[in-house]
Amino acid sequence: MMMKKGSLLIKNAAELVTCRGFQAKKGKEMSELHIIANGAVVVEEGIIKAVGTTEEILKAYNEENYEVIDATGKAVLPGFVDSHTHLVFGGYRAEEFSWRLRGDDYMSIMERGGGILSSVKSTKEATKEELFESAKKRLDSMLSFGVTTVEAKSGYGLDYETEIKQLEVAKEVNEHHPVDVVSTFLGAHAVPKEYKGKEDTFIDFFIEKVMPEVVERDLAEFCDIFCEKNVFSVEDSRKLLTKAKEMGFKIKLHADEIVQLGGAELAAELGATSADHLLQASDKGIQAMAEAGVITTLLPGTAFSLKEDFARARYMIDHNCAVALATDLNPGSCFTESIPLIFALATLYMGMSTEEAITALTINGAAAVDRADTIGSIDVGKKGDIIILEFPSYKFIPYHVGVSTVEKVVKEGKLVFDKQK
- CA 104, CA 102: separation in Å to the nearest integer? 6
Is residue 156 part of an annotated ligand binding site? yes
* 3-class DSSP state of 267: helix
Angle (CA) 320 274 117, round 5°: 135
- CA 132, CA 87: separation in Å to the nearest integer? 10
- CA 22, CA 380: separation in Å to the nearest integer? 10
Residues in the chain: 421
Is residue 176 part of an annotated ligand binding site? no
Is residue 12 part of an annotated ligand binding site? no
Q: Are 8 and 413 in contact (CB under 8 A)?
A: yes
What residues contact residue 247 under an 8 Å CB cut-off, 6+ apart? 211, 212, 215
What residues contact residue 46 under an 8 Å CB cut-off, 6+ apart? 5, 6, 383, 384, 412, 413, 414
Q: Which residues of 360-376 are buried (b: 16+ CB within 10 A; e: fewer)?
A: bbbbbbbbbbbbbebbb
Is residue 29 part of an annotated ligand binding site? no
- CA 28, CA 48: separation in Å to the nearest integer? 27
Burial label for 89, CB within 10 Å (0-12, 13-18, 19+), is buried
- CA 279, CA 308: separation in Å to the nearest integer? 9
Q: Are 30 and 323 in contact (CB under 8 A)?
A: yes
Name the helix (H) or strand (E) containing 358.
helix 354-361
Is residue 93 part of an annotated ligand binding site? yes
Distance set, CA 210 to CA 248, 270, 382, 406 (Å) = 14, 22, 34, 40
Annotated binding residues for 4-imidazolone-5-propanoate: 93, 156, 189, 257, 333
Annotated binding residues for Zn(2+): 84, 86, 254, 328
Annotated binding residues: 84, 86, 93, 156, 189, 254, 257, 328, 330, 332-333
Annotated binding residues for Fe(3+): 84, 86, 254, 328
Annotated binding residues for N-formimidoyl-L-glutamate: 156, 330, 332
